[in-house]
Structure 1
Amino acid sequence: MQGNVITTIIALLFYLTSGLFGVNSGSSSKNSALPPETSIFYPRSGVIASDVATIRSESSSSSSTVGSATKGSRLIILGEKNGLYQVQTHSGITGWVAKWMVTAQAPAAGTVSKGRTIAGYYVENYYNDPVGYSALSANLGTINTVMPFSFNIDQYGTIHSTHNPKPVRLARSAGAVTLAVVNNIKGDNFNSSVASKLLSSPTYRSKAVSGISRMLQQNGFQGVNIDFENVPARSRNDLTAFFRELAAELRPKGLLVTASLPAKTSNDRSSSHGGAYDYQAIAPYLDQAMIMTYDEHYAGGAPGPVASYPWVDKVIRYTLNYFQPSKVVLGLAAYGYNWSMSSGKAQNYKAIQNLIKQYSVAPKWHPTYKVPYFTYKSWGIKHQVWYENASSTAAKMQLVRNYGLKGVAVWRLGYEDPAIWNVIRQSLY
């Protein structure tokens, strides 16, 4: 079965990419489809099974020692040779360990019915906005978790709602799980001050936890997704306390505790991006961690991929130091950025396709980043566009399978290349 799935994915990749990029036998490598992988076996997750495992410099039991790992330590398996695994540890040591000392987790070939999460963030720009609803309606056979982005919390722990029950009813009619997304947006942005004041007060935290519990039960949600962004690094311990208190309230009621977490590649406690999120401390309190593996490059920065393959791989490796693969849901961007002069703006897949037609450009494929991009000129000003499509999604789905992750969460429904759902379905069934 796994071989058939792999064959289908490769065939689908060739079809999708050749259709979009006009690939033929004479195309250059930068404008070609994803090359077929020789193996999807590595990288994968593993756990030290022996009391102490010696890590060696070469794939030989007689080579020099570069470190060790104790029983239960999680690591990433990069390959195998001569009866040893090449591994990378939590501390960054890369070397070789005898295979019998490691319990390797097989890449999950499973199906949605076996517990995989295929989630979509449901956002409305205005009440009854049809964009997300149309995407949800068309793909409910694939999407099994719907996350309405319609609740925000203020600094005093009061929940405010723009909740539209229509998409939730549709999701439930198909048996999908619904998770209410609670954010710290004030005005148009995630608000640092709101997060700081809320989290620093045990009284306001308690009010927030009670309010979330009540809101979930009143609206029939199966759980919550906490999406607090721009949280000050100084709020690190307070944020951990919030997740601990939230889990203590919701889990006895059978409600799921999930969170949208910033993509991290190191434990930088001072980072304004992710310093407040102590992965190790909050992991026990989360049933699922939706890792926001997008905005590697963003509107206010230099042009580049929204989520390059090497960067996403690095984020996953860091995350698996603290979370079991069965808890990790990989965030998938459904959009791109169009940069001109010194700034950029987000655009959905449909808008980007309109640009391609309007300016008669031929998108290129970056063989390392595994994403499409193109440039064009408008009124003499050069534009650079990097975006996500079915082919770039297929590359990331390979990582989901290899690492045995829980699933994926698409930001946001209605912005995507419609073909991604076939890729996701083929990858996880």
Structure 2
Amino acid sequence: MRIHVVKQGESLWKIARFYGSDINQIILVNQLTNPNVVAIGQALVIPEPNKEYVIQQGDTLWSIAQRYGVTTGALAEMNNIADPSLLYIGEMLLLPYFTYTVQSGDSLWSIANQNGVTVNQIVQANNISDASRIYVGTPLRIPAASRPVKEINTYTTQTTPQGAQEVMALGENFTYLSPFTYAIKSDGTLTDMQDRGLLDAAEAQNIAPLLVVTNFQNNSFDSDLAATLFRNPGLQDTLITNLLEIIQAKGYKGVNFDFEYVYPEDRENYNDFLRKVVNRFKPEGLLVSTALAPKITADQQGLLYEAHDYEAHGDIVDFVVIMTYEWGWAGGEPWAIAPINKVREVLDYAVTVIPRDKILMGIPLYGRDWKIPWVDGTIARTVSPQEAVALATRYGVPIQWNEEYQSPYFRYTDESGQQHEVWFEDARSVQAKYDTIVQYGLRGGSYWVLGSPFPQNWPVLQTNIKVRKL
């Protein structure tokens, strides 16, 4: 997979020809609704012929395997396909092998080196008896380069059949699914959630569901509700018992606590609560995780941050989700949602107190459209990356790139004369995020949130990371 940024005067046909790629494959993987119109500055995912294939109408796993001379089992394993009968148009598959024709001056070592594999892998794939003798013009099967294995969590708020269908369509990309949300009540019970469809989809796609627990009440996080729980040990026991009953009845594999705006004086109470949960959950083989605000120091001030004890959570729970997004929040000034320099600043602190293999880095799947000049008290509109690109093409404005934030943005003027500024995610910005996960040696990433179409994200993820299935 390559990422191409559209330049002045380029057409999709010209871009496809430049890369020797099938234009229909480019249209499908980027889900382009109008291939005749692309925006200057728009990032496009370009599948690599002979290495990647985008599923088209009428394809089966068997027909694709036959076309490329591989087994259906190898294709399924390479792409985390749990059910070979479930293929989705526009889904990009990585091929287990590609063909390379030996050139003058080649050696097995040079071929292996340039393709990120070992000489032994090439020897085994081609049944070569003498590795010192290869001949110009010989076609060799080259195994796909290995990818780092990481875990990926995704939150979803969509409990509708469409939400379950999205999980089915994207399921190979997830280790965990976290339906949002079960909220605590002051008596130790929890609100209900119509999550059966999501749980069935998770099971079909070999995804481990996590039950999300919050102090969410009346459309906001409630500090007093959290305090009621954390200051009453008996209430905690009741809640934990109720949690275990729901988890065992519905088939969840663990819990994710997302308690936000907790009073600073409840910091250690929160830690003690987590210790109690782990003591009850671990004998049952259940996972315990938390969601943490993006801090850059242990003593960072503010109600969002102070009760989130990075070091304690890193010691107590199985893993944490660090919510490295929302710098560009709906009620604030226009800004990148997850500027990579700010994300890295959070990680620079986090890895000093939390084991790297316990950190899932937050990744946004959305953008925002602000009216400008910005006025305090106004609220930006949330847009999907796909909608953001559609706005740029509709108003004929170029998409720009902020190098410091590693994020795309643009400005446009609507029909009423109102000016807007849009920040969103594209193939380049998520590439920077996957690079960061790998460079920092993290456990993986966590998306907020499904329901926002971002087709480019999935081939970029696949190319960079092999998603672990439990």
What is the aligned partner in structure 1 of residue 457 from structure 2?
Answer: 420
Task: Say if 2:189 is the partner of 1:158.
Answer: yes
Task: Say if 2:295 is the partner of 1:264.
Answer: yes
In the aligned structure 1, how far is the partner of 2:278 from the partner of 2:408? 40
In the aligned structure 2, how far is the partner of 1:328 from the partner of 1:410? 13
Task: Say if 2:363 is the partner of 1:363.
Answer: no
- More displaced, 178-187 or 260-269? 260-269
Cα pair distance change 1:187/1:401, threshold 3 Å: same
In the aligned structure 2, how far is the partner of 1:231 from the partner of 1:110? 39
Contact 2:291 2:320 (C-alpha < 8 Å) held by counterparts: yes
Cα pair distance change 1:361/1:278, threshold 3 Å: same
What is the aligned partner in structure 2 of residue 88 from structure 1?
Answer: none
What is the aligned partner in structure 2 of residue 386 from structure 1?
Answer: 423
1:399 paired residue among 436, 444, 449: 436
| Structure label with greater radius of gyration | 2
> What is the deviation of 1:238?
1.4
> What is the deviation of 1:269?
5.3
What is the aligned partner in structure 2 of residue 286 from structure 1?
Answer: 317
> What is the deviation of 1:31?
5.2
What is the aligned partner in structure 2 of residue 18 from structure 1?
Answer: 6
SS of match in other structure, 2:322: strand
Give, as a single letter, the amino acid of the residue that structure 1 aligns with 2:6: S
Contact 1:184 1:191 (C-alpha < 8 Å) held by counterparts: yes
Cα pair distance change 1:396/1:145, threshold 3 Å: same
> What is the deviation of 1:247?
0.9
What is the aligned partner in structure 2 of residue 333 from structure 1?
Answer: 364
The aligned length equals 333
What are the equivalent positions in structure 2 for 1:30-429 lying under 5 Å apart? 110-112=147-149, 116-124=150-158, 127-128=159-160, 130=162, 132-268=163-299, 270-340=301-371, 341-342=374-375, 343=378, 344-378=380-414, 379-429=416-466
> What is the deviation of 1:176?
1.4
> What is the deviation of 1:355?
2.1
Query: Whose strand proportion is higher, 1 or 2?
Result: 1
Cα pair distance change 1:123/1:374, threshold 3 Å: same
Deviation string 1:46-78 (CA, Å, 9 cap, x unpaired) is: xxxxxxxxxxxxxxxxxxxxxxxxxxxxxxxxx
In the aligned structure 1, how far is the partner of 2:276 from the partner of 2:460? 38
> What is the deviation of 1:202?
1.6
Aligned-pair identity in percent equals 28
> What is the deviation of 1:233?
2.0
Contact 1:262 1:273 (C-alpha < 8 Å) held by counterparts: yes
Give, as a single letter, the amino acid of the residue that structure 1 aligns with 2:302: S
In the aligned structure 1, how far is the partner of 2:333 from the partner of 2:188? 36
Contact 2:148 2:438 (C-alpha < 8 Å) held by counterparts: no
Give, as a single letter, the amino acid of the residue that structure 2 aligns with 1:136: V
In the aligned structure 2, how far is the partner of 1:21 from the partner of 1:254? 58
TM-score by length of 2: 0.66
> What is the deviation of 1:310?
0.5
Cα pair distance change 1:187/1:354, threshold 3 Å: farther
Contact 1:21 1:31 (C-alpha < 8 Å) held by counterparts: no
Give, as a single letter, the amino acid of the residue that structure 1 aligns with 2:235: Y
> What is the deviation of 1:206?
1.9
Cα pair distance change 1:413/1:172, threshold 3 Å: same
In the aligned structure 2, how far is the partner of 1:169 from the partner of 1:129? 11
In the aligned structure 2, how far is the partner of 1:135 from the partner of 1:165? 14
In the aligned structure 2, how far is the partner of 1:227 from the partner of 1:400? 22
Cα pair distance change 1:354/1:188, threshold 3 Å: farther
Deviation string 1:154-196 (CA, Å, 9 cap, x unpaired) is: 2332111113211211111222111111111112112222112
SS of match in other structure, 1:140: helix
Unaligned ranges ≥5, structure 1: 1-7, 35-108
In the aligned structure 2, how far is the partner of 1:142 from the partner of 1:290? 17
SS of match in other structure, 1:139: helix
SS of match in other structure, 2:405: coil
SS of match in other structure, 1:121: strand
> What is the deviation of 1:21?
11
Contact 1:33 1:365 (C-alpha < 8 Å) held by counterparts: no
Cα pair distance change 1:351/1:316, threshold 3 Å: same
Unaligned ranges ≥5, structure 2: 19-39, 45-145
TM-score by length of 1: 0.72
Contact 1:182 1:226 (C-alpha < 8 Å) held by counterparts: yes
In the aligned structure 1, how far is the partner of 2:352 from the partner of 2:232? 30
Contact 1:31 1:366 (C-alpha < 8 Å) held by counterparts: no
> What is the deviation of 1:273?
1.5
In the aligned structure 1, how far is the partner of 2:400 from the partner of 2:10? 10
Question: Alignment RMSD, CA only?
Answer: 2.5
SS of match in other structure, 2:305: coil
> What is the deviation of 1:129?
5.2
Cα pair distance change 1:20/1:304, threshold 3 Å: farther
Cα pair distance change 1:21/1:216, threshold 3 Å: farther
In the aligned structure 1, how far is the partner of 2:339 from the partner of 2:280? 38
SS of match in other structure, 2:282: helix
Deviation string 1:350-396 (CA, Å, 9 cap, x unpaired) is: 33233223322221111111001111123222211111122211101
